[in-house]
Amino acid sequence: MSMPIKTYRSDLLGALHEGATDLLAVGAIDKATMRRFDLACLTPVEPLPPDAIRAIRERAQMSQAIFARALNVTTSLVSKWERGDAKPGGASLKLLSLAAHKGIDAIL
C-alpha cells in the first residue's frame, strides 16, 4: 500500500510534520497531537472552479447522475457546481480534490 503524497504549507512545516510523524511512530506523541500537526502543516483543500469540477467528471467518463452518486450528493447539486450556482465544501470538496489529484478510483 503506497503512502499518500502530502503537500505542506512550507518546507519548514514539512520538516516539522515529518519529525512529528517520527515521534508518533515511537510513541513520544499521541494521535490527537499528530492530528493538530496535520491541521497546522498540511495545505488546505483549495476551492474548485466550475470548469474544474466538470473536467474531473468528464475525465472519469461519468454522467452527472453517476458522478453525484459517487460523491453521495444529488445530481442537481453537481449541476449547480458545474454552472457556478453553488460551491462544494467540506467532505464534497475533499472528495473532489482527491478525484482531481488521484483519479476517480480514489473515492470509489
Question: In the chain, what are the domains?
Answer: 11-41 (no CATH), 50-106 (1.10.260.40)
Q: Which helix (H) or strand (E) holds 3?
A: none
C-alpha cell at 74: 444529488
Q: What pTM, to 2 d.p., does this model score?
A: 0.67
Going by C-alpha positions, the residue among 55, 78, 83 that lies closest to residue 67 is: 78
Cα pseudo-dihedral 32, 33, 35, 39, rounded to 10: 140
Task: Quickly state the pLDDT bin for 3 (edges 50, 70, 90).
Answer: very low
43 C-beta neighbours (distance < 10 Å), count: 12
Q: Give me the torsion for CA of 104, 4, 50, 10, rounded to 10°.
A: -170
pLDDT tens per residue, range 31-50: 999 988 888 887 678 899 99
